Amino acid sequence: MATYLVEHEHTDSTCPAQSSESAKMMESLVLGEERLEKLGIKILEDGKVTGEHRLLILVEAPGRQNVEEYAEPFKMVGPTKVLDLTTCGAFLDQVLAGTAKGCR
């Protein structure tokens, strides 16, 4: 399993929280256990930036494609990125071992 960050933003006019119907639909797509299980995704942490139309969701999944599929509904209302993550410790181990140089 690998760790990914789903980063999403939308505008006031595309905000799914404008009505209870669209909020319920997004809730099932974002947090619905059946969908998460089908995609093999575990939400480790999620957050909505207070006062902004911005969501950050930390997930664990068997592969990036699973997370891309999970993130599709977000893309209907605004820009969405899926970012591959590693721990700082694992990255520094690579640097010290000479297998990585710099943050790229």
Q: How far apart are CA 89 and CA 104, in angstroms?
A: 15
User: Which residue's structure tokens are 């399993």?
Assistant: 1
17-61, pLDDT tens digit by residue? 888 998 888 888 888 999 999 999 999 999 999 999 999 999 999
Instruction: State residue 61's pLDDT score.
Output: 98
**pLDDT exceeds cutoff 90 at 103:** no
Q: How far apart are CA 67 and CA 14, in angstroms?
A: 22
The domains of the chain, with CATH numbers, are 2-97 (3.30.70.1060)
51-90, pLDDT tens digit by residue? 999 999 999 999 999 999 999 999 999 999 999 999 999 8
Q: The pTM is what?
A: 0.88
* Residues in Cβ contact with 49 at an 8 Å cutoff, skipping those fewer than 6 apart: 55, 56
**pLDDT exceeds cutoff 80 at 10:** yes
Chain-centroid distance, C-alpha 47: 10
